[in-house]
Chains A and B, each alone.
Chain A
Amino acid sequence: MSTTVTLSGVEKSYGHTRAVDGVDLFAERGVTGLLGPNGAGKTTLMRMLATVLAPDAGHLRLLGDDPREPGGRLSIRRRLGYVPQEPGYHRNFTAFEFVDYVAILKEMTDRRARHDEVRRVLGLVGLTEVSGKKIKALSGGMRRRVALAQALLGHPELLILDEPTAGLDPEQRLRFREVVSAVTTDATVVLATHQTEDVSALCQRVVVMHEGSVRYDGSTRGLADGARGRVWLAADRHPSARLSWRTGDGRHRNIGEAPPGAELVEPTIEDGYLLLVGEGARRDAA
Chain B
Amino acid sequence: MSEMWHADPGDIARYTTDTIDATRAVSIEAHLVTCARCREQVAGVADRTRLDAAWVEIVDTVESPRPTVVEWVLRRMGVRADTARLLAATPSLQASWLMAVIVALGFATLAAQSGTERGLAVFLIVAPLLPVAGVAAAFGRELDPTWEITAAAPGGGFRLLLVRASAVFATTLAVAAIACLALPTLSWTTAAWVLPALALTLASLALSTFTSPERASVAVAVTWVVAVLASAQETRDLLSAFGSSGQLALAIVAFVSAVLVAQRRDSFEIRSRL
Residues of A within 8 A of B (CB): 14, 47, 50-54, 56, 67-68, 70, 73-74, 77-78, 80, 82, 84, 86-91, 93-94, 96-97, 100-102, 104-107, 109, 111-112, 115, 119, 131-132, 147, 150, 160
Contact = CB atoms under 8 A, between A and B. Distances in A.
Nearest to B65: A97
By CB atoms of chain B within 10 A, which of A52, A107, A111 has the most?
A52
Q: Which 3 A-B pairs have the closest CB atoms?
A: A88-B145, A105-B153, A77-B154
22 contacts: A14-B273, A51-B151, A52-B151, A52-B270, A53-B272, A54-B270, A70-B266, A70-B269, A77-B154, A84-B152, A89-B145, A91-B145, A93-B65, A93-B89, A96-B65, A102-B146, A102-B153, A105-B86, A105-B155, A111-B64, A111-B81, A111-B82
Given A90-B89, A131-B63, A109 B146 contact: no
B154 A106 contact: yes
Contacts of B85: 100-101, 104
A82 B271 contact: no
Given A88-B144, A104-B86, A105-B86, A50 B152 contact: yes
A160 B152 CA distance: 10
A73 B82 CA distance: 23
Contact of B271 (A52, A91, A132): A52
Contacts of A70: 266, 269
B60 A53 contact: no
Contacts of A147: 149
B146 A73 contact: no
A97 B65 CA distance: 5
A102 B56 CA distance: 22
Contacts of B150: 105
B148 interface: yes
A78 B156 CA distance: 11
Interface string B134-165: 00000000001111111111111000100000
Contacts of A78: 154
A111 B64 CA distance: 9
A94 B153 contact: no
Interface in B184-209: none
Contact of B86 (A54, A67, A86, A101): A101
B222 interface: no
Contacts of A111: 64, 81-82
A50 B274 CA distance: 14
Given A87-B149, A107-B155, 8 more contacts: A14-B273, A52-B148, A52-B270, A67-B270, A78-B154, A84-B148, A91-B145, A101-B89
A87 B150 CA distance: 10
A26 to B, nearest CB: 21
B149 A107 contact: no
Nearest to A80: B152
A225 B82 CA distance: 53
Interface string B257-274: 000000000100111111
A115 B64 contact: yes
A54 B63 contact: no
Nearest to B83: A104
Nearest to A86: B148
B149 to A, nearest CB: 6
A106 B63 contact: no
Contact of A150 (B81, B149, B156, B266): B149
B88 to A, nearest CB: 9
Contacts of A47: 148, 274
Contacts of B145: 88-91
A87 B271 contact: no
Contacts of A56: 272
B97 to A, nearest CB: 14
Contacts of B271: 52-54
A89 B150 CA distance: 11
Contact of A54 (B148, B155, B272): B272
Contacts of B146: 87-90, 101-102
